[in-house]
Homo-oligomer: A and B are copies of this chain.
Amino acid sequence: MVLKMSVADLEAFMRDEFPQVAQDFTVEAAAPMRLTLRLNVGERHLRPGGTVSGPAIFALADVGVYLAVLSMIGPQALAVTTNCSLDFMRKPVAGADLLADVRLLKLGRVLAVGDVLIRSDGAEAPAARASMTYSIPPARQG
């Protein structure tokens, strides 16, 4: 298995296709079926009390699995999330970025499934766990 998109490719793709959110994320590492994504936590991700919001955690898991899929199949902006399950287990550490460790468990012709462990940068115990299913559109023929 070889990556079809490098870390630099993935970041360029995000900037081009999702300019609104590209600055929220940094791809820390990519390997076959694995990817680590950082949420660059800023004011807009916080709830009162300084905790990262649920929607920001959802977005981190969702973008993480999406980029892991793209790293394997190449830039196809049309893959869509069909299902997600999330467990919120611990309050994120105030003021810390979040790191998502993504593992693709399945990369089929039609569906891809990834699971994600999310923790505050510097913490060991996970703040959240997610699994996401993506539907992959039929390849466009050249």
Contact = CB atoms under 8 A, between A and B. Distances in A.
A123 interface: no
A111 B134 CA distance: 12
A135 B110 CA distance: 9
A59 B57 CA distance: 11
A94 interface: no
A122 interface: no
Given A55-B55, A62-B54, A105-B129, A80 B88 contact: yes
Contacts of A108: 89
B48 A55 contact: no
28 contacts: A18-B47, A20-B44, A20-B47, A53-B59, A54-B58, A54-B59, A54-B62, A54-B81, A55-B56, A55-B59, A55-B62, A58-B84, A80-B88, A81-B88, A82-B89, A83-B88, A83-B133, A84-B85, A84-B86, A85-B131, A87-B105, A89-B105, A89-B106, A89-B108, A105-B117, A105-B126, A106-B126, A113-B129
Given A58-B84, A82-B111, 16 more contacts: A18-B47, A18-B48, A83-B83, A83-B133, A84-B88, A85-B86, A87-B106, A89-B105, A89-B108, A105-B117, A105-B126, A110-B110, A115-B115, A129-B131, A131-B131, A133-B133
